[in-house]
Structure 1
Amino acid sequence: MGKPFDMELFLAGVLTGSHATRQRHLRQAKIIQAEIAARWQRETPRAWQRKHLAWFLEHHLSQRSEATRYYYLLTVRLLARRLQTSWVFNLYL
């Protein structure tokens, strides 16, 4: 069995902002990773498809506040940028 995936190392190149902002993005990215792994057994972001992140935004966050959904959307966009994809995510609050 290999080493666990290091989300901090994965996002290091695209994380900007204050320490608190970087920590929030890391915490949220790890939560997203855990939920996608539990639902689809896709452990790393490289194995994800757009539908996995869209599912997280639409279903996992459906009962959360607008502010929470917005902050997760920012993290999802950061993940998409790091994956160098052209995925576009919009949040209809």
Structure 2
Amino acid sequence: MSKSFDMELFLSGVLTGSHATRQRHLRQATLIQAEIANRWKRETPWAWQKKHMDWFLERRLSRRSEATRYYYLLTVRLLASRLQKTWVFNL
């Protein structure tokens, strides 16, 4: 049986800010991971491509408020930073 992926450990090097901000990023990153794993069966961020993040931002958040989409965009940018990718995301 495989271990579940530890998002907190993965993001620990790029998380900054207050405790509440770090917790929000962790919750959102875990949700992003679950949605991508459910849709494409890609369990870890190293297997993700830009299209997966685009899909999440455009399709899964389409009915959310602009503020919510913005906060998820910040989390997606943190994930891309941690993956050392130069992906550009727009809302």
TM-score tier, shorter chain, comes to over 0.9
- Alignment of 1:38 with 2:17, yes or no, is no
Q: CA shift at 1:82, angstroms?
A: 0.1
* Partner of residue 9, structure 2: 9
2:90 match: 90
Identity %: 81
Q: State the match for 1:54 in structure 2.
A: 54
CA positional deviation for 1:3:
1.1
* CA apart distance, 1:69: 0.2
Q: Show CA shifts across 1:34-92 (max 9, x none).
A: 0000000000000000000000000000000000000000000000000000101111x
User: 4+ residue stretches of structure 1 with deviation over 2 A?
Assistant: none
Structure 2: give runs of 5+ residues left out of the alignment. none
TM-score, normalised relative to structure 2: 0.99
Residue 6 (structure 1) shift: 0.1
**Coordinate RMSD, CA, aligned:** 0.4
Aligned residue-pair number: 91
Does residue 1:73 correspond to 2:73, yes or no? yes
Residues in 1 aligned to 2:65 and 2:86: alpha-carbon distance in whole angstroms: 27
- Cα deviation, residue 2, structure 1: 1.9
